């Protein structure tokens, strides 16, 4: 799962297997170490819930975005690129399918990415450089 933070917006990009895991289990998370100490990491994740509204919670270095389950399941089963929500206090959150890059980047593995809708050819998935 890729996370982009820019200004007052969060954008999550999910690969095929991450989308599958998220809708099957109801949750997906990852973390990043922000220092050498065990307590200096940020955990971030997406959860599904039956309520019709989005929510964001941040507590003890954990950022969790909850998305209505019906909308997420429908999104996962279609060609729809993303889901988006803007909160009244100004935060914008987007969850998107991660596409194959149009330009190959050495060392980048996008073999689990979705086919890019603007791709002119169906190139084989790239492999990680070893």
What is the per-residue pLDDT for 97? 84
With a CB cutoff of 8 Å and minimum separation 6, the contacts of 5 are: none
What is the per-residue pLDDT for 37? 85
What is the per-residue pLDDT for 20? 92
Q: What percent of the chain has pLDDT over 90?
A: 56
Whether 118 has a pLDDT exceeding 50, the answer reads yes
What is the pLDDT of the chain when averaged over all its residues? Answer: 83
Q: Which two tokens stand for residue 4?
A: 């982009």
Q: Which two tokens stand for residue 103?
A: 């330009």
Question: Class assignment of domain 2-97?
Answer: alpha beta
What is the per-residue pLDDT for 114? 53
> DSSP string spanning 1-12?
-EEEEETTEEEE
- From residue 61, how far is each of 1, 43, 58, 64, 89 by CA, in Å? 18, 6, 7, 10, 21
**Of residues 55 and 125, which shows the higher confidence score?**
55
d(CA 122, CA 54): 35
pLDDT 10s digits, 53-110: 999 999 999 999 999 999 999 998 988 878 999 999 999 999 998 755 556 666 666 6
**pTM given for the model:** 0.76
Q: Which two tokens stand for residue 8?
A: 């007052």
pLDDT 10s digits, 13-54: 898 889 899 999 999 999 999 998 878 899 999 999 999 999
CB burial of residue 38 (10 Å; 0-12, 13-18, 19+): exposed
Q: Which of 87, 82, 45 is nearest to 65 (CA)?
A: 45
């Amino acid at each position: 799962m890729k996370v982009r933070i820019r200004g007052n917006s969060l954008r999550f990009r999910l690969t095929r297997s991450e989308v599958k895991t998220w809708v099957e289990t109801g949750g997906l998370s990852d973390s990043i170490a922000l220092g050498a100490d065990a307590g200096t990491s940020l955990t971030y994740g997406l959860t599904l819930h039956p309520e019709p509204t989005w929510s964001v919670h941040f507590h003890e270095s954990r950022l969790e975005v909850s998305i209505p389950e019906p909308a997420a399941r429908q999104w996962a089963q279609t060609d729809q690129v993303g889901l988006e929500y803007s909160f009244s206090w100004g935060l914008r959150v987007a969850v998107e399918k991660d596409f194959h890059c149009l330009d190959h980047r050495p060392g980048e593995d996008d073999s689990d990415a979705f086919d890019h809708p603007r791709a002119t050819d169906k190139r084989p998935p790239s492999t990680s450089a070893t």
